[in-house]
């Protein structure tokens, strides 16, 4: 049920609005001024807040400022008997969802609530999506992981290019994401490209874009990943699988900070920080003439090596706890605990799939294991 807070210093208005909203099926609380209302909003979550502007102690503008500063995600609708365009614009600029003038019109209120409900749903969905996409973090206290965290803290604020090396499933993407989030570009786009997943004949179009009619299926102009990441960060995952032709064009962009779309000779300037990752030995690829040495030197201003899970086995208990909470939150599955013996067996296991494999194993044991996952569950359901 949607929960609403009404803040107004006039008792008759807040009580009548409360009765109307309760008749519509909403749960409603009231407060006589902004100070009391903010205290209530901090302690309890309200989907929607109706707030008068002219009030003693803390007025509506001051209340709105405190809500925005505190990061509360309630939709705030300002109401006033002294409303004017300038006040309404100021409220919207400060983060108010809407502005309604007194005397309050029931139809207008109900439409506002409907729109606010949609906004609250979108905010909730966005939060869940961000948690799934961005909520993953580097978990671990082992010496190799602490060294990587220290390196990220030093390198992230710079624009230095970074080459991340490590086995599949070890968490190279998390390192790249952390570099972006701790950089001065964190508010700008973060664009990921899996070079191994794009056919060689399409990778140039994906990276640099194309003009309409430049090839048979080019039915409209397309901005490539470099343009999409302008001002932000471009993460080139599995760069060791990129074709030599595409490598040459990437090198040009890194050198000249400009590109041309497929089918065009016009140069487009871009400001992009490039982070690359690979599970291959690029030195060996250079020797085999499959990777350009000049591109390697451009990409590897800073090299971060991500250890395999076996090299950081002491982090496995922390990772298990983290995955239990993450998986159960996302799926609604009841949380379970792992016995010390089960954890010890998992620490002894070989992990060719690294962190990705461990997460899959934890999910399997949560589904198939006992309420307290035992060593026998590990023997039964996990291939050693």
pLDDT in tens, 40-90: 998 888 889 999 998 888 999 999 999 888 878 788 999 887 666 778 778
Q: Please state, in angstroms and as integers, the Cα–Cα distance from residue 16 to each residue in 21, 99, 111, following that order.
A: 9, 19, 18
Q: Is residue 137 part of a domain?
A: no
What pLDDT, on a 0 to 100 scale, did the predictor assign at position 129?
53
- Residue 93 is predicted with a pLDDT of 83
Question: What CATH code is carried by the domain that includes residue 28?
Answer: 3.40.50.2300
pLDDT classification of 133: cutoffs 50, 70, 90: very low
- Bond into 103 cis (ω within 30): yes
Q: Is residue 104 part of a domain?
A: yes
The C-alpha atoms of residue 169 and residue 151 are separated, in whole angstroms, by: 20
CATH classification of the domain holding 288: 3.40.50.300
Which structure tokens are listed for 117? 């409900």
Strand pairing report for 162-165 and 98-101: unpaired
> In which domain, by residue range, is 327 found?
311-381
Shared domain for 150 and 295, answered yes or no, is: yes
Which range scores top for mean pLDDT: 101-110, 134-143, 184-193, 358-367? 358-367
Among 177-191, 216-230, 262-276, where is mean pLDDT lowest? 216-230
In a domain, 62, yes or no: yes
| pLDDT for 96 beyond 80 | yes
Question: In this predicted structure, what is the pLDDT of residue 135?
Answer: 44
Number of domains within the chain: 3
Q: Is residue 273 over pLDDT 60? A: yes
Per the CB < 8 A criterion, the answer to whether 306 and 148 are in contact is yes
Looking at the predicted structure, is the pLDDT value of residue 131 above 60? no
The overall average pLDDT reported for the chain is: 89
- Same-domain status, 268 and 176: yes
Q: With CA atoms as reference, report the closest residue to 77 among 107, 56, 106, 47.
A: 47
* Domain match, 171 and 297 both: yes
In this structure, are 167 and 236 located in the same domain?
yes
List beta partners, residue 165.
278, 305
For tokens 């009765």, the residue is: 19
Residue 29: inside a domain, yes or no? Answer: yes
204/319 same-domain check: no
Is residue 120's pLDDT more than 80?
no
Residues 209 and 115 grouped into a single domain? no
The residue from 81, 111, 132 where one domain ends is 132
Domain boundary among 278, 307, 336: 307
Report whether 376 contacts 343 (CB < 8 A): no
Share of the chain above pLDDT 70, in %: 94
Q: Is residue 138 a part of any domain in this protein?
A: no
Q: Which residues 6+ apart lie within 8 Å of 343 measured at CB?
A: 316, 317, 320
Verify that 153 and 289 share a domain, yes or no.
yes
Could you tell me if 205 and 315 lie in one domain?
no
* 165 has pLDDT over 80: yes
Retrieve residue 47's tokens. 């989907």
128 domain-assigned: yes
Query: Residue 384's pLDDT band (boundaries 50, 70, 90)?
Result: low
pTM over 0.85: no
> Domain of 361: which CATH number?
1.10.8.60
* In a shared domain, residues 205 and 290: yes
Identify the residue whose tokens are 């002294």: 82
Count of residues for the chain?
384
Same domain for 103 and 217? Answer: no
Cα-based angle 116, 83, 37 (whole degrees, multiple of 5): 55
If asked whether residues 117 and 246 sit together in one domain, one would say no
Which segments within the chain are labelled E, that is strand? Answer: 3-7, 27-31, 48-52, 75-80, 98-101, 162-165, 190-194, 233-237, 258-259, 268-269, 273-278, 302-305, 337-338, 372-373
- Are both 105 and 249 inside the same structural domain? no
Quick one: CA dihedral 322, 323, 329, 334, positive or negative?
negative
- Domain membership of residue 182 (yes or no) is yes
| Tokens (6 digits) for 283 | 């030195």
pLDDT tens by residue, 197-214: 888 778 888 899 888 887
Span 324-354, pLDDT tens digits: 998 998 888 888 999 999 999 999 999 999 9
Last residue of a domain, one of 260, 292, 307: 307
């Amino acid at each position: 049920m949607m929960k609403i807070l009404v803040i107004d210093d006039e008792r008759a208005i807040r009580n009548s609005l409360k009765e109307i909203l309760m008749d519509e099926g909403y749960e409603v609380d009231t407060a006589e001024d902004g100070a009391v209302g903010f205290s209530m909003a901090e302690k309890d979550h309200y989907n929607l807040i109706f707030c008068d502007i002219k009030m003693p102690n803390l007025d509506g503008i001051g209340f709105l400022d405190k809500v925005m500063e505190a990061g509360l995600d309630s939709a705030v609708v300002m109401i006033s008997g002294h409303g004017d365009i300038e006040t309404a614009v100021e409220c919207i600029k400060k983060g108010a969802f809407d502005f309604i003038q007194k005397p309050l019109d029931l139809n207008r209120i109900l439409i506002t609530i409907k729109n606010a409900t949609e906004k609250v749903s979108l905010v909730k969905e966005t939060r869940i999506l961000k948690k799934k996409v961005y909520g993953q973090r580097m978990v671990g206290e082992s010496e190799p992981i602490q060294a990587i965290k220290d390196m990220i803290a030093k390198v992230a604020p710079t624009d230095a290019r970074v080459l991340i090396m490590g086995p599949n499933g070890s968490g190279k993407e998390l390192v790249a994401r952390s570099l972006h989030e701790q950089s001065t570009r964190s508010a700008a786009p973060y664009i990921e490209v899996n070079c191994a997943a794009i056919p060689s004949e399409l990778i140039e179009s994906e990276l640099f874009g194309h003009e309409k009619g430049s090839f048979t299926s080019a039915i409209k102009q397309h901005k490539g990943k470099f343009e999409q990441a302008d001002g932000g960060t471009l993460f080139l995952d599995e760069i060791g699988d990129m074709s030599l032709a595409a490598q040459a064009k990437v090198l040009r962009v890194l050198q000249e900070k400009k590109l041309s779309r497929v089918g065009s000779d016009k140069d487009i300037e871009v400001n992009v920080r490039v982070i690359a990752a690979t599970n291959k030995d690029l030195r060996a690829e250079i020797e085999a003439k499959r990777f350009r040495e000049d591109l390697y030197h451009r990409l590897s201003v800073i090299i971060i090596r991500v250890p395999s899970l076996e090299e950081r086995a002491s982090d496995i208990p922390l990772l298990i706890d983290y995955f239990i909470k993450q998986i159960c939150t996302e799926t609604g599955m009841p949380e379970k605990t792992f016995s010390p013996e089960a954890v010890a067996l998992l620490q002894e296991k070989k992990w060719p799939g690294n962190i990705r494999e461990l997460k899959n194993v934890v999910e399997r044991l949560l589904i198939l294991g006992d309420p307290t996952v035992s060593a026998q569950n590990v023997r039964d359901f996990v291939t050693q």
